[in-house]
Amino acid sequence: MKYETMLDRFLKYVKINTRSDASIMTIPSTDVQKDFLKMLKEDLEELGLSDIQLNEENWFLTATLPSNSNKLFDKIGFISHVDTADFNSINIKPNIIENYDGNDIVLNKEKDIVMTTKAFPNLKNYVGKTLITTDGTTLLGADDKAGIVEIIEAVKYLKEHPEIEHGDIRIAFGPDEEIGRGADNFDAKHFATDYAYTMDGGVLGELQYESFNAAQITYKITGVSVHPGTAKDKMKNANTIAAELAMMFPENEVPEKTSGYEGFYLLHEMNSRIEEATLVYIIRDFNREKFEERKQFCVGVAEKINAKYGDVLEYNMFDQYYNMGDVIEKDKKSVNIAEVAMRNVDVNPIVIPIRGGTDGSKISYMGIPTPNIFVGGENFHGQYEFSCLEHMQKAADVIVEIAKLAKK
């Protein structure tokens, strides 16, 4: 299938800064996301979709491509997020590399920024393809503007080819996925689909319906600062207590030493001085029972510190999201259809767990099973991010094929 406007649309969207900000508690966290959603609304209106609504409370943009068939189809949805990750996203300058030759890619000659095949051997998988990269000073924003573009182009294709029968197709674009808050306010009742898909994966063929269970704990240590010359039996050094606390965590259960279904603890942030220290850990596990055990371990760490030093430590722990697989396993129709759709368009499904979360992690628990599908990019969240145009086209093909297959 041909998507003649896909590249131009992608280049237009990625050049727009839509970075979210975890330190700001508004919805969305940044006004640039509002501006982008308003622009997307105009694009959907130009496309001629129905029931286009931009909810200025949760800032989700939704629309419908109505059914064109008398046959019974499931009502399905496709979802992507508009924000980009915590990396420079100002003045994005995409580079287009046609017929990539498999060699190192000079992203920025002036600053000597090179994406090497030694550091990124995955580049060898893209020989002969069209790659879109950064200039080495920003991220690209394919996570998740590639997903947005693929949804729009697929819906545009279906609208232009009424001979392809399908049921109601709902789309939703929302904010603040990268900071884990956007889907908290998703209106599942209004979206009202039988199941949906987030277009928010990575390489060609990825199909994910299992995610981490996720929590965060913040430890606050209150020390006692005394002049070191007279500190004996008086000082409580929050720095060294924080270091001791960190050493209580298992050294091999960290992201850089785990993979697959293995969970971890991550010291995400640490600020420390003698009188006060703050440590933020994120807790991840696919298994719900092990997840709860990890949380209790973190509480036990706090109790041990207080038992040794007195009541110097307070903590705050909260759950962030849960493994959507626990919901989707009860009815895997959405996953099964996606697998068939991929094979029908010559894509080999790679069914793997998400070592993270998507908006679907929360939306699945709102009553809409929502697996995650590839968008055709790699190295997200940094200067070496890139997308493959041909694989983006394949993602749109998968959306069209799902629309054909989603029958009652």
Which residues participate in catalysis according to the annotation?
83, 177
Radius of gyration of the chain (CA): 23
> Is the peptide bond prior to 144 cis by the omega test (within 30 degrees of 0)?
yes
| H or E stretch covering 221 | strand 213-222
| H or E stretch covering 216 | strand 213-222
User: Token pair of 119, please?
Assistant: 């550091």
- Of 230, 323, 311, 239, whose CA–CA distance to 275 is shortest? 239
Neighbour tally for 387: CB within 10 Å: 28
- Of 336, 325, 328, whose CA–CA distance to 402 is shortest? 336
Rounded-to-integer distance, Cα 357 and Cα 213, Å: 8
Residue 210 φ then ψ, to 5°? -120, 135
For residue 81, the cross-strand partners are 174
Residue 218 is which amino acid? T
Q: How far is CA 369 from CA 198, 208, 287, 399, 404, in A?
A: 10, 12, 19, 16, 19
Residue 49 φ then ψ, to 5°? -75, 170
Rounded-to-integer distance, Cα 43 and Cα 352, Å: 34
3-state secondary structure 99-158: CCCCCCEEEECCCCEEECCCCCHHHHHHCCCCEEECCCCCCCCHHHHHHHHHHHHHHHHH
Contact yes or no for 328/185 (Cβ under 8 A) = no
Structure-token match 């991840």, residue found: 284
Enumerate the known binding-site residues for Zn(2+).
Answer: 81, 143, 178, 200, 381
Contact yes or no for 104/117 (Cβ under 8 A) = yes
Neighbour tally for 184: CB within 10 Å: 13
Rounded-to-integer distance, Cα 72 and Cα 405, Å: 11
Contact yes or no for 207/89 (Cβ under 8 A) = no
Residue 52 φ then ψ, to 5°? -80, 120
Enumerate the known binding-site residues.
Answer: 81, 143, 178, 200, 381
